[in-house]
Amino acid sequence: MSRELSAAQLAERSISRKYRKQIWNNFIRAVRDYELIKEGDRIAVCISGGKDSMLLAKLMQMLQRFSEVPFDLKFLVMDPGYSPQNRVRIEENAALLEIPITVFETDIFSATDKTERYPCYLCARMRRGYLYSEAQKLGCNKIALGHHFSDVIETTVMAMLYGSQLQGMIPKLHSQNYPGMELIRPLYCVHEDDIIAWARYNKLEFIRCACRVTDKSGDVDSKRAEVKELIRTLKKTNPNVEKSIFNSLHCVHLDTFIGYKTKGVRHSFLEEYGD
């Protein structure tokens, strides 16, 4: 007699079968190529309630089950002041996907709602600090965030067009304020379109940013929306444009740059330019 699969089992099966090439293989590629997980790691998977972090949680859960490298996981949900509806949606999705979450509360939304300048930047910084702190309390040495391939591309283009700098988003980094803590991005090679397709295939509905800025404007980041549209337009004539941008981050010809910045110090090509 065939046994009916649960929603969590169906979601996992779609990852390992239908979206194996697009999601699972690219997830494993990032973990392997960038050495994101080591034996004995205790990783706090940070769940915002959106599609990216929920998929990340499921992928990390599956990897722990199949990996020959032993590591521990905690699934951490920070409530920065969600509406009751969004809080319930997160808890229901976690239960549906069989992800055992640990929830803690903060007043970040209340704090950022009082500032007019750069509320999203302030919110991101505060979130990161709270997550590091709570992860440390749980004995973790790493936090895993749901930034994906498309985030990497968009951040790079935004930095150049709006920030007047060439700046990428690396797959892992050490925390400057929390010694011994590290941030990893296991979705680094997974495309957002594939995440959206996976969620739709499984009929899963996740929350968006859900902050007051979103409620007021309907768009958390208009500049990012502009860059998304720009890349979408470029892909019409060059389908490989995202891949080219991504590969360029792995092949920077530093000798051709007039200036660069490393470890907080600015340098000029003139420092090594001979007469």
CATH number at residue 149: 3.40.50.620
Residues 227, 53, 263: CA angle, nearest 5 degrees: 65
For residue 117, what pLDDT is reported? 62
The pLDDT tens digits of the residues spanning 232-253 come to 999 999 999 999 999 999 999 9
Residue 12 in any domain: the answer is: yes
Q: Which domain, by its residues, includes 28?
A: 7-272
* Beta strands at 182-184 and 259-262: parallel, antiparallel or unpaired: unpaired
| Cβ 28 vs Cβ 64: under 8 Å | no
Model's pTM, two decimal places? 0.91
Given a cut of 70, the residues of the chain with pLDDT beneath it are 1-2, 112-121, 209-221, 275
Residue 1 in any domain: the answer is: no
How many domains, in total, are found in the chain? 1
The pLDDT tens digits of the residues spanning 113-144 come to 666 665 666 777 788 889 999 999 999 999 99
Residue 2 in any domain: the answer is: no
